[in-house]
């Protein structure tokens, strides 16, 4: 349950991105930047201020990304692969190319205390985020716009959806989740590396896909994201209990993602074939009497 927090946030963010038909590759760099900032400023400004600054910066980065993606009309992967590098540079800059460390270890202690017997502050925050985003996606116009631009972008734009608004919201939430995830990791371990946290992208994507999003966009939901995160998490925990080296986890995650993709692609091809066969049989049924008449027609 403890590791659920960060993975859940990243999985949630990527679920939203994939629902909108895009993917945010810069999520690991964004989280790393937030971790570096929060660890660096906790000693001088106090944990709460540092946390707010880090999350605000990450969210702002997300908003800017969303704006540019909508304004330039580029695919998100194109822009976010650039910002991946850019944010890594910024994080290196902020960390002065070192591993930054906390000197005051009361904060990590607070983060890992259990509050109501079972939940740490981080898990409560994540559960709260899940509920909030779930309500947002299901019961507000903005949430439905996100589904719309993912499932049928041209139709949504023709129906009057402004591309900028949902795109900015998606990437703002993505930045917010990345920032919160980075802050939690940074404060919990007390250290942060500018080039770390890149594994979050793979783990989050696996969580999102197990949660049932479609790569074509427009499908999936927050409950799915939670289930996917829990699955990946149980896999992780099980492997760790069996003393599996870290790289094997990556191997299993890779296999899992490939299998899910294969399944999705296969079912899509099957659907298409089925539809094609249906059309052909329809046409045949209509043409059948005609053909019969022609064969036995007047001599």
Partner 1 sequence: MSNSLIANARVTGLGFVDRLVRDYSALVVCLIGLFLVVFIVGMATAPNFLTIFNFKTIIRDAALVGIMAIGLTFVTLSGNFFLLSMKETAALCIICFATSMSSGYGFEISFLLTMGVAIIAGAAQGALIGLGGNPIVVTLGAAGLLFGLGSWWSDNLVVSFRRPHGAEWLGTGSFLGLPNITIAFILIAISAECVLRYTNFGRQVYLIGANRAAGKATGHENFSMAIKVCIIASICSAFVAIAFSAQVSSAHVNYFSSEFGSSGDMTIMVIATVMVGGNSIMGGFGSTLRTSLGAIFISTVDNMMVLHGFNSGPRVLAVGLMIVFSIIVFALVRRGSRAQE
- Contact between 115 and partner 1 by CB under 8 A: the answer reads no
- Contact between 170 and partner 1 by CB under 8 A: the answer reads no
Tokens in use for 248?
Answer: 């094997």
- Contact between 291 and partner 1 by CB under 8 A: the answer reads no
Which one of the spans 44-52, 80-88, 115-123, 136-144 is the region binding partner 1 (CB under 8 A)? 80-88
Considering only residues 83, 123, 174, 236, which one is a binding residue for partner 1 as defined by CB under 8 A? 83
Instruction: Please say whether the beta carbons of 146 and 16 come within 8 A.
Output: yes
Nearer to partner 1, 75 or 276 (CB): 75
Q: What is the spatial distance between Cα 284 and Cα 249, in angstroms, rounded to a whole number?
A: 52
- Contact between 93 and partner 1 by CB under 8 A: the answer reads yes
The site map against partner 1 for 252-271 (x = CB under 8 A) is: xxxxxxx--xx-xxx-xx--
CB of 95 to partner 1, least distance (A): 8
- Contact between 245 and partner 1 by CB under 8 A: the answer reads yes
- Cβ count near 207 (within 10 Å): 30
Report 197-226 residues binding partner 1 (CB under 8 A).
Answer: 198, 201-202, 205-206, 209, 215
- Contact between 247 and partner 1 by CB under 8 A: the answer reads yes
CB of 16 to partner 1, least distance (A): 16
**Closest residue by Cα to residue 118 from 287, 211, 248, 4:** 4
Nearer to partner 1, 135 or 248 (CB): 248
Q: What is the DSSP string of the chain?
A: -TTHHHHHHHHHHHHHHHHTT---TTHHHHHHHHHHHHHHHHHHH-HHHHHHHHHHHHHHHHHHHHHHHHHHT--HHHHHHHHHHHHHHHHHHHHTTS-EE-S-THHHHHHHS-SSSS--HHHHHHHHHHHHHHHHHHHSHHHHHHHHHHH-HHHHHHTT--THHHHHHHHHHHHHHHHHHHHHHHHHHSEE-TT--THHHHHHHHHHHHTT--TTSS---HHHHHHHHHHHHHHHHHHHHTT--HHHHHHHHHHHHHHHHHHHHHHHHHHHHHHHHHHHHHHHHHHHHHHHHHHT---
Considering only residues 45, 56, 86, 152, which one is a binding residue for partner 1 as defined by CB under 8 A? 86
- Contact between 251 and partner 1 by CB under 8 A: the answer reads yes
Nearer to partner 1, 27 or 51 (CB): 27
- The phi and psi torsions of 154 (rounded to 5 degrees) equal -60, -45
Which one of the spans 48-56, 73-81, 100-108, 138-146 is the region binding partner 1 (CB under 8 A)? 73-81
- Contact between 238 and partner 1 by CB under 8 A: the answer reads no
- Contact between 250 and partner 1 by CB under 8 A: the answer reads yes
Considering only residues 89, 135, 159, 164, which one is a binding residue for partner 1 as defined by CB under 8 A? 89
Instruction: Please say whether the beta carbons of 173 and 62 come within 8 A.
Output: yes
Considering only residues 82, 134, 151, 212, which one is a binding residue for partner 1 as defined by CB under 8 A? 82
Which one of the spans 2-10, 52-60, 65-73, 219-227 is the region binding partner 1 (CB under 8 A)? 65-73
Residues at the interface with partner 1 (CB under 8 A) = 23, 25, 68, 72-75, 77-79, 81-90, 92-93, 95-97, 194-195, 198, 201-202, 205-206, 209, 215, 245, 247-248, 250-258, 261-262, 264-266, 268-269
């Amino acid at each position: 349950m403890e590791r659920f927090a960060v993975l859940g946030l990243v999985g949630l963010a990527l679920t939203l991105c994939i629902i909108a038909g895009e993917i945010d590759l810069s999520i690991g760099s964004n989280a790393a930047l937030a971790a570096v900032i929060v660890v660096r400023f906790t000693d001088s400004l106090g944990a709460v201020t540092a946390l707010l600054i880090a999350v605000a910066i990450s969210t702002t980065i997300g908003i800017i990304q969303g704006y540019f993606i909508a304004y330039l009309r580029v695919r998100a992967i194109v822009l976010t692969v650039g910002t991946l590098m850019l944010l890594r540079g910024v994080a290196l800059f902020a960390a002065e190319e070192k591993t930054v460390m906390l000197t005051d270890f009361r904060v990590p202690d607070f983060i890992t205390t259990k509050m109501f017997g079972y939940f740490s502050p981080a898990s409560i925050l994540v559960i709260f985020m899940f509920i909030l985003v779930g309500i947002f996606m299901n019961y507000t116009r903005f949430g439905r716009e996100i589904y719309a631009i993912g499932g049928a972008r041209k139709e949504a734009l023709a129906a009057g959806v402004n591309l900028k608004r949902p795109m900015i919201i998606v990437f703002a939430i993505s930045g917010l989740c990345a920032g919160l995830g980075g802050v939690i990791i940074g404060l919990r371990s007390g250290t942060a590396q500018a080039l770390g946290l890149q594994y979050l992208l793979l783990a989050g994507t696996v969580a999102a896909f197990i949660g049932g999003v479609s790569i074509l966009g427009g499908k999936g939901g927050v409950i799915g994201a939670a289930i996917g995160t829990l699955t990946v998490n149980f896999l992780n925990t099980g492997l760790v209990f069996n003393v599996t080296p870290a790289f094997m986890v990556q191997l299993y995650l890779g296999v899992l993602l490939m299998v899910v993709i294969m399944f999705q692609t296969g079912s899509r091809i099957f659907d298409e074939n089925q539809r094609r066969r249906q059309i052909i049989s329809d046409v045949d049924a209509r043409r059948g009497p005609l053909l019969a008449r022609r064969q036995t027609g007047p001599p």
